[in-house]
Chain A
Amino acid sequence: MNTNLSTLLEFLPQKAPVGFVKEVLVCEEHESRTVVHFDVSPTLPMLSEAGAQSSIFLRLTEEKKAANVPIRAMGILVSVKSKWLDKSDKKSFEVETKYVSNLDSFFIVSFTVFDGEVAVAEGQVAAVLEQKGKTL
């Protein structure tokens, strides 16, 4: 993979103070890993938002092509489910996301939030991918 990971954050449409992804560690077809940071200990909804933001760094080249979705599509969050596994009062975490499935432009992605080696929260987000500016 020859992507310059440090330049990928420009793809994140959420800006401070709600742009929680601070670094992209892995950006693969069906898996991504990011560093996220919050100014306070995050709530579960904040961690879920971080999961959704991290999912932006899944490539999903073939899936997007088959669904006729642009590579730089914007995701519209449709639903979330998540739970704490081990509550943490830390402010920085790593978030791993994995592609689960899609039906046309409707994508489901799972996420796990790590504090070091410990998984502290997990969940799934569903989003509809649309060409930027088309629907919003």
Chain B
Amino acid sequence: MSQSYLSEGLYSVVSQRDERVEISLSSADHPIFKAHFEGMPLLPGFLQIDIIAEILEKEIDVITSAKFVQKILPEEQLTYIISPTKSGVRVKLLNANEELCGDFKLKWSDKAD
């Protein structure tokens, strides 16, 4: 798994097993948090999806629905829980308190080299 120019240094994988991936976000000093937004650092919604696709080396083909439920701040510990659906996958993103931050229904494929 290689990180993109946007996500490099933005997160680190804490654990990865089966359908559960835990990550830790960087501090507010990361360029992404400085840019989104100035003085109000939040993890952009698109990166909430791109991070898990990057870790699992997937390419997103369809975002059937993506709901951004709760804002995500620097240094948060997050857990992705992935489960298959009839037409793709469902990815739930939880914070350290097990509160739902994002709920994504996706169609993805293995990333081509």
Residue of A nearest to B37 (CB): A13
B6 — which chain A residues lie within 8 A by C-beta?
17-18
Pick from B32, B34, B47: contact of A45, CB below 8 A. B47
In the bound complex, residues from chain A placing their C-beta under 8 Å from that of B71 are 136
Query: Is B53's CB within 8 Å of the partner chain A?
Result: yes
B66 touches A46 (CB 8 A): no
**Across the interface, which residues of A come within 8 angstroms of B61, CB to CB?**
44, 83-84
- By size class, the interface of chain A is 20 to 34
Q: Which residues of the partner chain B approach A14 to less than 8 Å between Cβ atoms?
A: 35-37, 44
A24–B31 alpha-carbon span in the complex (Å): 24
Across the interface, A81 reaches (CB within 8 A) one of B31, B37, B66, namely: B66
Pairs across A and B, CB under 8 Å, 27 listed: A13-B38, A14-B37, A14-B44, A15-B38, A18-B36, A39-B5, A43-B50, A43-B59, A44-B62, A45-B46, A45-B60, A45-B63, A48-B63, A49-B44, A52-B45, A77-B45, A80-B45, A80-B65, A80-B66, A81-B63, A81-B66, A82-B62, A83-B61, A83-B63, A123-B63, A136-B37, A136-B71
The residue on A at minimum CB distance from B33 is A18
Chain B interface size, as a band, is: 20 to 34
Q: With a CB–CB cut-off of 8 A, which chain A residues contact B64?
A: 81
Q: Mark B51-70, 1 if CB is under 8 A from A, else 0.
A: 00100000111111111100
Cβ proximity bits A71-94 to B, threshold 8 Å, 1 near / 0 not: 000000111111110000000000
Chain A residue contacts of B83, Cβ below 8 A = none
Closest chain A CB from B39 CB (angstroms): 9
